Structure 1
Amino acid sequence: MSNSSFRIGRHLLPGVIAVALFGVMAAVFLTASIGEPAGFGNASVIESIGFSLLNIADAEGTVPTEGFLAAFILIAFALDAALDGSIMLARREDENVTDLRSEGNDRRKGGDE
């Protein structure tokens, strides 16, 4: 036999709430009715993505979408800046690189020493 006792108190409240939330979510998902899947018919999804990225007016046979020209331009600028930065860092390494260490005369205490 063990002398352990089960303590009931406020510290169990988050666990009880989590179990209750799981029960509610499980009930909702198990009783939800899902209709028949409906695709886009004969519309070209890839073409629609291209039109929405460049904010071009919708053509026939495409899925109507929102325009994303501003996001496309911002991503292009961010990628260009990253590429320019990587080229700048690569060129900087070819120049004379000096160590940041001293010659050993300057011993300071610290770390695990």
Structure 2
Amino acid sequence: MGLWQQSVVKCADNCGIFKAVIIGMPKWHHSRGRVGYAFRMAVRDKSREYRGEKLPRGIIVRTKQPIKRKDGSTIKFDENAFIAISNNKPLGNKVKGPVTYECGHSVRNMARWIF
């Protein structure tokens, strides 16, 4: 049911991070992450050019867990992916792969950069 702490996630943008591990969620998330939730992560695999934080924040954009929509349909992906953020702006400038519609609704202040 969603992503838990110590879940390995892939980066969906070109900020220089390849893989990260979730280390913190806000208390009101009940320690599980869904699409659109923000979290703190530890970088596990990165490119040499990445000069950002060791513990950046991110937003979940894709999950393996099926997402139910109001019309009754479900959607799921082959991987868990995130977008790295800093000061409510993405670290990268290009998003790789699809981003769910629900992500834009839960993160309104970032919707213009993600979509």
TM-score (norm 2): 0.17
More strand by share: 2
> RCO greater where, 1 or 2, for CA within 8 Å and sep 6 or more?
2
Larger radius of gyration: 1
TM-score by length of 1: 0.17
